[in-house]
C-alpha cells in the first residue's frame, strides 16, 4: 500500500469525527438561534399586552377638557374627608388625568407564606377609567423573574403572570370576584392619586365618625366600599373592608382586608404617602402580604390626549 493511501486511511476517522463535530455545532447554532428568536417574539408579545392595556386605560381619559377641583363643594363632605382634601391638594388643583408611579418593595404570595420576594413596579392610574395597570417584576434567584400584569379598567379586572416576560404561567380576566377585588384595590390606591377620591370622580362619602368615613365607588353594576381612617393631621392613615376577595388555595374567599399608609411627602405638588402596606386578616390576625415604597410620581391633568 502506498504512503498516500496509508495517510488517507489513517486520517479518515479524524475527518469523519471533525465532520460530525461541525454538524453538531451547526445544529446547536440553529437551535440556539431559534430559541433566541422565540424568546424575542414572546417578549414582544408580552410587551404588546402591556401596551394594549395602557392604551385602553389612557384612551378613557383622552381629550377630556381640563377641570378644576370644586373646592367650594368640599365643605359638604364629612369633616375628616374635607380636612383630607384641603390637606393633600393645593388650591387651584385640576383633576388628575393620569398618575404614573414607580414602586419597590417586598411581597409574599399567600398570607401564611414565610417567603418574601422583592419587586419593582410601574403603576398607571387613570381616574376617568376608574382603573389602573400594575406592571411588576418579582425577582427570583439566579436573575430569574416573574412578570405580573394586574389591571382594573372600567370595572373589569385582569391578571397575568409570565416567567421572564416570556412563558405564560397564569391568566384570568373578568370573573366577578376578580372584578370586585381589583376595584377595591383601585379605590385604596387612589391615595396616590387623590383627585380620584373626589365626588367629581364618582366617589360617594358617608360619615362614620370624626376620624373615619366610608367611600363607595360604583362602576356599571359593580359597587365596592372602603372605610378610610384619617390621622389627626388629616392624612389617610389606613383603609379597611370586612370583605375583599382573596385568591387562596385555588379558590376565592372573602376576608377582611386592610391597608396602612405613612411617610407623607409632597410629590409633584401633591401630598401623598411614600410608604404603604396591605394584608388580610386570617384567624383575626393581620397578615401583611405587600409593602412598598414610592420612588416617584408624575401627574398629568386633563389637557387633551394623554401620553403613555
From first to last of the 308 residues of the chain, give the pLDDT tens digit. 444 344 333 444 566 656 665 554 445 544 444 444 444 445 666 777 788 888 989 887 777 778 889 888 899 999 999 999 999 999 889 999 999 999 999 999 999 899 999 999 999 999 999 999 999 999 999 889 999 999 999 999 999 998 887 788 899 999 999 999 999 999 999 999 999 999 999 999 999 999 999 999 999 999 999 999 999 999 999 999 999 999 888 899 999 999 999 999 999 999 999 999 999 999 999 999 999 999 999 999 864 444 44
Residue 107, pLDDT score = 97
According to DSSP, residue 234 is labeled: S
How many CA atoms, within 13 angstroms, populate the side-chain half-sphere of residue 9? Answer: 6
Residue 77, pLDDT score = 97
Grid cell listed for 206: 358617608
Residue 261, pLDDT score = 98
pTM above 0.95, yes or no: no
Q: Which domains does the chain have, with CATH numbers?
A: 37-301 (2.50.20)
Q: Which long-range contacts (CB under 8 A, 24 or more apart) does 154-163 make?
A: 154/60, 154/129, 154/130, 154/219, 154/220, 155/130, 155/179, 155/183, 155/219, 155/220, 155/222, 157/181, 157/182, 157/183, 158/53, 158/182, 160/49, 162/46
Distance CA 148, CA 159 (A): 7
DSSP strand pairing (96-107 vs 270-282) = unpaired
Chain centre to alpha carbon of residue 159: 9
Give me the DSSP letters along 64-101: PPP-B--GGGGGGS-HHHHHHHHHHS-TTPBPEEEEEE
Residue 23, pLDDT score = 54
Bridge partners, residue 229, by sequence: 212, 238
Chain centre to alpha carbon of residue 214: 24
Amino acid at each position: 500500500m502506498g504512503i498516500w493511501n496509508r495517510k488517507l486511511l489513517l486520517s479518515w476517522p479524524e475527518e469523519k469525527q471533525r465532520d460530525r463535530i461541525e454538524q453538531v455545532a451547526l445544529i446547536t447554532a440553529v437551535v440556539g438561534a431559534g430559541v433566541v428568536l422565540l424568546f424575542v417574539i414572546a417578549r414582544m408579545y408580552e410587551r404588546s399586552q402591556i401596551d394594549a392595556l395602557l392604551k385602553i386605560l389612557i384612551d378613557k381619559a383622552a381629550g377630556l377638557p381640563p377641570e378644576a377641583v370644586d373646592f367650594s363643594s368640599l365643605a359638604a363632605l364629612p369633616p375628616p374627608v374635607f380636612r383630607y382634601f384641603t390637606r393633600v391638594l393645593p388650591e387651584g388643583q385640576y383633576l388628575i388625568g393620569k398618575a404614573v408611579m414607580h414602586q419597590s418593595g417586598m411581597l409574599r404570595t399567600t398570607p401564611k407564606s414565610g417567603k418574601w420576594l422583592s419587586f419593582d413596579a410601574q403603576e398607571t392610574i387613570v381616574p376617568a377609567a376608574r382603573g389602573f395597570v400594575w406592571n411588576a417584576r418579582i425577582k427570583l434567584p439566579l436573575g430569574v423573574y416573574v412578570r405580573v400584569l394586574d389591571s382594573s379598567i372600567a370595572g373589569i379586572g385582569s391578571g397575568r403572570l409570565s416567567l421572564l416576560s416570556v412563558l405564560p404561567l397564569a391568566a384570568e380576566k373578568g370573573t366577578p370576584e376578580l372584578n370586585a377585588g381589583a376595584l377595591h384595590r383601585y379605590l385604596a390606591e387612589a391615595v396616590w392619586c387623590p383627585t380620584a377620591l373626589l365626588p367629581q370622580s364618582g366617589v360617594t362619602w358617608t360619615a362614620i365618625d370624626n376620624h373615619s368615613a366610608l367611600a363607595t365607588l360604583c362602576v356599571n353594576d359593580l359597587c365596592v366600599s372602603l372605610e378610610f381612617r384619617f390621622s389627626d393631621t388629616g392624612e389617610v392613615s389606613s383603609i379597611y373592608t370586612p370583605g375583599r376577595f382573596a385568591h387562596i388555595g385555588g379558590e376565592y374567599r372573602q376576608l377582611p382586608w386592610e391597608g396602612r399608609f405613612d411617610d407623607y411627602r409632597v410629590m409633584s405638588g401633591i401630598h401623598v404617602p411614600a410608604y404603604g402596606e396591605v394584608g388580610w386578616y386570617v384567624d383575626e390576625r393581620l397578615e401583611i402580604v405587600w409593602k412598598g415604597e414610592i420612588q416617584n410620581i408624575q401627574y398629568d391633568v386633563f389637557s387633551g390626549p394623554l401620553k403613555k
